[in-house]
Chain A
Amino acid sequence: MTEYDHVTDDIKAVVEDTELPRRLRRRVYDTIEGREGVSTEQADEIARAVEAEYLDARIEPLEPAGTVSAQSIGEPGTQMTMNTFHYAGVAEIDVTQGLPRLIELVDARKEPDTPMMTVYLEDEYAENREKAREVVWALEATKILALGDVSTNVADMVVRIDLNEETLLERWPTVDAAEPIAEEIAETIEDALGVDTRHQGMAIEFGPSEPSYRELLQLVEELREIVFKGIEDISRVVIRKEELDDGEEFVLYTEGSAFGDVLRIEGVDASRSTCNNIHEINEELGIEAAREAIINETIDTLREQGLDDVNVRHLMLVADIMTNEGTIESIGRHGISGSKDSVLARAAFEVTVNHLLDAAIHGESDDLNGIIENVIAGKPVSIGTGDVKLRMGSMETSPADD
């Protein structure tokens, strides 16, 4: 290592003599290098002080890290709000908060109660409101009521749609005239409902093949559900201008999520956009990204409730366990707790009788290796001082030698 000018061999010797891990040693070298002219004695003092801090912060061997994490998340959990909704996180979008959200995360629910996405934009899309709008229309599900008026004429058995020309031109920014858009809409209706349409200008008319009042109403119902543009799962998009260090950018927040589809839309920054569904992230970006997302979402949920003094290491441990198998597993009897080796440990968690009954039917045995089993059996547990075996006397020195 010749990259340091101010780290002498003597300094190196005192730092290498400490129990510091490699990364911290480098930090010490970097600091000494930055200060310039640190004497060997001072360097020794620095190294000892850093070492003492490090050893102090290190977890003791045989410490039950999982239990400590469980308590450290559980206690703040008691102070969280019970009500599911409320609070418009950013830009008037309802997001599940507090305890329900935390439970949803550790239960690894397939679909969050209130799915949402944060969509960042690229280059000119992020700078220009018109361009950002284009992406909004590509995302937001556009249904017929947003495009014009629908009226039913019972006498003639027809449904009539009067499209709003301005709205069409606004929502299809790449098309210059409203006429082809109306044609496209008419075709979409024909495909979706299986009816023949007549259209003239901005008006589209169609009706059931046989005159039937019920069928007419049925058609109107179905018409309302057709998605003409955008992604079906995304019901609303809010556009927001956000301050950056060097300027401003437009960011989109969506109600509903379709992460995979959105990443492929032109103008979307696929390196920053995220969603609050950890399963979608796992599918699109892999298990490591899902792990990150679990940590982010849990810490944000706690922070939102003013409980940000929970150490992130506890949440990292939870995320590590949940993603250990390469897929997202829930904490709880359908996931981690339910896959424990010990019958007694599983029975102690939930649905005690079922576990004991199943174990009896299959003739399972319990080796009593874990903590919970031994608490139940009233034996010393293998953590902390419980795991240390004491031996009196020594093999080499027999009493006769004294």
Chain B
Amino acid sequence: MVDVSQHELVPEHIPIEGAELDSVLEEYGLDRTDLPEITADDPALPDEAETGDVIKIVRDSRTADTSISYRLVVE
């Protein structure tokens, strides 16, 4: 099987929860359903991620060193 996470186009996907998640939502004044979405069958998702989880995505940014983004796992 091909390890998708090794591809240079794929940024790091890290599931977050609890206090870290709360502080993110508070910082942006968002509900978790307001976040951009990622489908549960996305090949880049880590195995343990389930529908409803929030994934932290650490991209190599073109305009900054790295940029952090969040996506909600949906059906």
Contact = CB atoms under 8 A, between A and B. Distances in A.
A305 interface: no
B74 A326 contact: yes
B70 to A, nearest CB: 12
A397 interface: no
A272 interface: yes
Given A270-B2, A326-B39, A326-B74, A289 B65 contact: no
A286 B65 contact: no
A285 B9 contact: yes
Given A286-B44, A288-B13, A271 B7 contact: yes
A270 B10 contact: no
Interface in A229-272: 263-264, 270-272
A293 B39 CA distance: 18
B57 to A, nearest CB: 6
B10 A285 contact: yes
Contact of B62 (A264, A293, A295): A295
Contacts, number: 73
A142 interface: no
Main secondary structure of the interface of B (DSSP, over half): loop
Interface stretch (A3-11, A317-325, A373-381, A385-393): A317-325
Contact of A284 (B4, B11, B62): B4
B59 interface: yes
Contact of A326 (B6, B8, B37, B43): B37
A326 B36 contact: yes
Contact of B42 (A270, A287, A316): A287
Give the interface size class of chain A.
Answer: 20 to 34
Interface string B27-57: 0000000001111001111000000000001
B3 interface: yes
Contact of B37 (A272, A283, A325): A325
A274 B38 CA distance: 21
A306 B38 CA distance: 34
A281 interface: yes
A323 B39 CA distance: 11
Interface of A: 23, 263-264, 270-272, 274, 281, 283-289, 292-293, 295, 312-313, 316, 320, 323-327
30 contacts: A264-B2, A270-B6, A270-B7, A271-B7, A285-B4, A285-B7, A285-B43, A285-B44, A286-B4, A286-B38, A286-B42, A286-B44, A287-B38, A287-B42, A287-B44, A287-B71, A288-B9, A288-B10, A288-B44, A288-B57, A288-B59, A289-B7, A289-B44, A292-B11, A293-B9, A295-B62, A312-B63, A316-B62, A325-B37, A326-B36
